[in-house]
Chains A and B, each alone.
Chain A
C-alpha cells in the first residue's frame, strides 16, 4: 500500500495525472475513519487529504468558513466556537460506531454529506456546503460554487459531489456556510410511548410553529424505558417560550420532562453518533431514510423479518437506524423489501468486508438512474480511478 500525501492542489493534480497515465486506481480518503463504509475497494494506492490542512478563510460576519479538505473537523469546530458559531448540520462522528481512530476531516464530511439530528431543521451538510475545489480524474483542478451563500451560476456540482463518497474526485478545499451557535437548548423528553405514538408526537412537534431542531425516538428495547426527544434551540427567552408551548402541546402525556445542559447535549450526541446501537459490535448497522410516518411500520416489518434486530429513530421518524445480526446477507433482502414497500433508501453502514463485497451497500437504483450515475461518474473520472466500485459497480 502506497500512501500519496499531496500538500498542495498542484501536487494533487500531478498525483492524479500520474495515476491516470498508468491506469492505477486510487483509494481517496481524509483520515480513513469512514473507510469501512461502502463496497470494499481494491487499490494499491491511497490518495489522502491529510497533507492539505488549515483554515483558508473565516469571516464570522459573513457566516462563511473555508478550509483545505484534510483539516480536522475538530479544528474547524474550535475556530467557530471561539466566535460563537457552528456548522449547523451537526455532523455525525462515525468513530464510536465503526470503532475507528483518527481525526475526521472536513473534506470527508462534505464528500459523504454527513449530517446529524439538526438536519431536519437546518438542512444537511450538502445544504451548508457552498463551494468546493476538486481534482477530477483527468488531473484537472475544478471549482464549483464559491464563498457566497447565494449562487446559482452554472450547474451545481457542489451538491452533486457532496454524497459521492470520493468516487468523483479528490476534494482539496471546501467552503461552508455557518450560523451562530444557539444561545441555549432545551429538550422535552416524553416517556413510555410506542413507536407509532412517538412518531405521531414528533410529527405534531415538527408541525408546530416552535421551530423544533431535533426530533428522535429511542424505543424501550434500547433501555431507558422509551424516550421521545424534542429539542428547541435559540435565544434564551425563545427557548423558554417554545419549550413551554411544547410542554402544553403534550400536556396529556403522563411523563414529560424538560432537560437542559450537558446531560441533554450528551443525549443528542448519542443519537447523532448512533451510540445506542454500537453494541454488540458484531451486529450489522443499516441507515434508512424514509418518510417519517412510515418509519415505524418499516421498522416493524424489518423486526418481524429479522429476529434480533433493534432500531431507533431520528429526523422525526424519517431516519431509522437498524441493528441486525451480521449473518447471511446481514438483513439485506428484508431491508430492501421494506424499502420497496415504504419508499426511501437504505445504506449498510457497518458490516464485515465479505458481506459488503457480496451485496449492494448503497440503495440499488432504477435502471435509468443507474445508467445516469455510471455516465456521470465517467464524466468526472473517465478511467474509474477514484474509489472504484465503492457505491455500486461502475461508480
Chain B
C-alpha cells in the first residue's frame, strides 16, 4: 500500500449524523445510502487494491438534487467524490472517509436524439455503450469506445477524457462532446457549449473534460453521434520482433492510410489470451491488428495494401478477415486481453503514452524493469498513437509482491515521460499516478493547473485526494 490518503478530517467524521440528516432533507430516501453494508459497494473502483469507506453515498435523480447536495456540502465544508460506474483503473472514484460519494448512476436517460444534426443529449449516468445502443437502429454510434464501455458512464468518460481502440480515427471524449450541463460547487447550474460546434468564448468545455471530478459535477451531456461506415474488418499480422512491428506501423502511416484501429500484442499477451479465448492467434513475438473501414471492396483494397507493406517488414503470419465472423474472431482475443490476464494472475494495468518511434527501446526497458522485480508483463497497446497498456502480473497473496508491481509500474511511467511521452493516455491520473505528476510537470506547470482548479474549488472539496500531489498544493 504505497499510495497515501489524506488524514480524514475528525471534525467532519464527528458530524457524520448531522451531515447525513442534512442530506436526507435534500434527496429522496432511496437516494441516500448510509448503512455500512450498503456503503461497502462504493468503497473502491477499478483500482481494487485501495479501499476507503465513504461518509455517505448520495445517488440523485435530477440536476436539481445534485445542485442541492453540492450547495449543502459547500456550505458545510464536506468533501465530495463524484462517481459514475466506478470502473476507473486509476482510482479516480475511490472515496475517502470524510467525503460523500455523489453518484450519477440513476440519471441515465436519453433526453433527445437528433439524427439530422447528429447529436444525442443524455443524462450523464448513461453507459457509454447505451448511447450507441440508442442510436444504432439508424446506423449511428458514439465513437469513443473504452474497453469498459458496457459499464462505464459518460460522466466518467468526461471526467477522464476516455479513449478507446478506435480513437486513432475518431478521437477521444473531448473531441466528441458538444455541451454539458454542470453543477458548480456552490450549486449553480451552468450550460457549457450546446448542440453546436466550438465555443463562442473561452473553451470551458475543453477544460472540464478530463478534470477528474474536480471542477464540478456534469449531469447532462450533448454528444456527437456518427453514422457508422458501411463495414469494418481487421487483418492480423505476426512479426519476428517488436522492431519489425513498429516499423510496419510507421510504414502504414507513411503510405497515407490511417487505419481506424491499430493494436499491438506481445507474445506473453498472445499466449494468455489464446489460452482463454482460442482466437487462433499465431505464436509470434509481436502481433498487430489493423482495422479498416468502408465498403467491401474498399476494405479488401486497404487490407491488401497493408498486407503488402507488412511483407516488406518480415511479416511471419497474415490473416485477413474475410467475413464478420472472422473479424470477430480476430478481435475476440484482443478484447478479452485484460479479462484473460485477470484469470491467470493479479495485475495492474499501466497507461503511459510514448512517441511511437521509441517503441522497441521502451519494450526492452519494460522487460528489464519487470524482470528486475521478478515479475511478468504482458504488453497490449494502441500502436497507432503509442498508448501502452503493460499488464504487470503479481500474486497479491505473496507479501511484498504488489509493492514490487507498483514499483515496476512507476518506473515504466517514468520511462514513458523520459522518452517524451506522458503518464496517462486515457485512464486519467486519479490517485494512482498522483504522486508521479512531478515527473511530467514542473512546479510552475502544476501551480498554473491548481490556480485554474481553484477558480472552481478553492477549498479542495471536490475529489481532493486525486490528481495533484498532496505536498505542494496551493492553499485557498
B402-432 vs A, CB cutoff 8 Å, 1 = contact: the mask equals: 0000000000000000001111111111000
Interface range, B side: 35 or more
Interface status of A379 (Cβ within 8 A of chain B): yes
A203 to B115, CA, bound (A): 8
CB < 8 Å neighbour of B427 from A124, A152, A292, A366:
A152
Interface residues of B in 90-121 (CB under 8 A from A): 114-119
In this assembly, does A207 line the interface, its C-beta being within 8 Å of a C-beta of chain B?
yes
Q: Given A61-B253, A180-B257, are A154 and B196 also a contact pair (CB < 8 Å)? A: no
CB-nearest residue of chain B to A211: B229
Report chain B residues within 8 Å CB of A141: 444
CB under 8 Å from chain B, chain A span 179-217: 179-181, 183, 200, 203, 206-209, 211
Is the beta-carbon distance between A127 and B357 smaller than 8 angstroms? no
Q: Which of B40-48, B291-299, B392-400 contacts A (4 or more CB under 8 A)?
A: B291-299
A155-B256 contact given A126-B203, A143-B445, A291-B119, CB 8 Å threshold? no
Contact B382 A209 (CB under 8 A): no
**A362: B residues at CB distance < 8 A:** 200-201
Q: Quick check: is A32 within 8 A (CB to CB) of the other chain? A: no
B190 x A368 contact (CB < 8 A): yes
Residue-wise, chain A 157-193 has the 8 Å CB interface mask toward B (1 for contact) of 1111011100110000000000111010000000000
Bound complex: CA of A60 vs CA of B210, how far in Å? Answer: 28
Q: Which residues of A contact B429 (CB under 8 A)?
A: 152-154
Q: Within 8 Å CB of B184, what residues of A?
A: 368
**Contact: B196 with A290, CB < 8 Å?**
yes
Flag whether A14 is at the interface (Cβ < 8 A): no
Output the nearest chain B residue to A124 by Cβ-Cβ distance.
Answer: B198
Q: In the complex where A153-B424, A241-B294 touch, is A289 in contact with B197 (Cβ < 8 A)?
A: yes
Contact partner, B250, options A61, A377, A395, Cβ 8 Å: A61
Interface residues of B in 13-53 (CB under 8 A from A): none
Say whether A84 faces chain B, with CB atoms less than 8 Å apart. Answer: yes
Stretch at the interface among A21-29, A91-99, A342-350: A342-350
A5 within 8 A of B: no
* Chain A: minimal CB distance from B24 (Å): 28
Interface check B277, CB cutoff 8 A: no
Is B454 within 8 A of A379, CB to CB?
Answer: yes
Instruction: Say whether A42 faces chain B, with CB atoms less than 8 Å apart.
Output: no
- Give the distance to chain A from B466, nearest Cβ to Cβ, in Å: 11
Chain A residues, CB < 8 A from B172: 150, 152
Kindly list chain B residues whose C-beta atoms are within 8 Å of the C-beta of A115.
198
A42-83, CB < 8 A from B: 59-64, 83
- Asked if B9 is at the interface of the complex by the 8 Å CB criterion, the answer is no
Instruction: Bin the interface of chain A by size.
Output: 35 or more
Q: A124-B198, A143-B441, A179-B258 are in contact. Are A157 and B449 (CB under 8 A)?
A: yes
Contact between B228 and A318, CB atoms less than 8 A apart: no
Complex contacts, A4 vs chain B, CB 8 Å: none
Asked if A159 and B200 make an inter-chain contact with CB atoms under 8 angstroms apart, the answer reads: no
A148-B354, A159-B203 known; A345 vs B196 contact (CB < 8 Å): yes
A366: B residues at CB distance < 8 A: 190-191
> Looking at the complex, which one of B227, B301, B422 makes contact with A148 (CB distance below 8 Å)?
B422
B188 within 8 A of A: yes
Q: List 22 A-B contacts (CB under 8 A).
A: A119-B197, A123-B175, A126-B203, A127-B175, A146-B420, A147-B355, A148-B425, A151-B353, A152-B210, A153-B437, A155-B207, A180-B254, A209-B230, A241-B297, A289-B198, A292-B116, A345-B201, A366-B190, A369-B190, A369-B201, A373-B204, A391-B201
Known: A59-B355, A143-B445, A150-B385. 18 other contacts (CB 8 A): A61-B356, A83-B254, A84-B254, A142-B444, A142-B445, A146-B421, A148-B387, A149-B353, A151-B425, A155-B449, A156-B206, A157-B452, A159-B205, A180-B257, A289-B196, A291-B194, A368-B188, A373-B202
Residues in A lying within 8 Å of B, measured CB to CB: 59-64, 83-84, 113, 115, 119-120, 123-124, 126-127, 136, 140-144, 146-160, 162-164, 167-168, 179-181, 183, 200, 203, 206-209, 211, 235, 237-238, 241, 245, 289-293, 315, 318-319, 343-347, 362-363, 365-366, 368-369, 372-373, 375-377, 379-380, 391-392, 395
Which residues of B are at the interface with A, using a C-beta cutoff of 8 A?
A: 114-119, 139-140, 160-163, 167, 171-172, 174-175, 184, 188, 190-192, 194-207, 209-211, 227-230, 249-250, 253-258, 294-295, 297-298, 301-302, 353-357, 382, 385-387, 420-429, 433, 437, 440-442, 444-446, 448-449, 451-456, 467
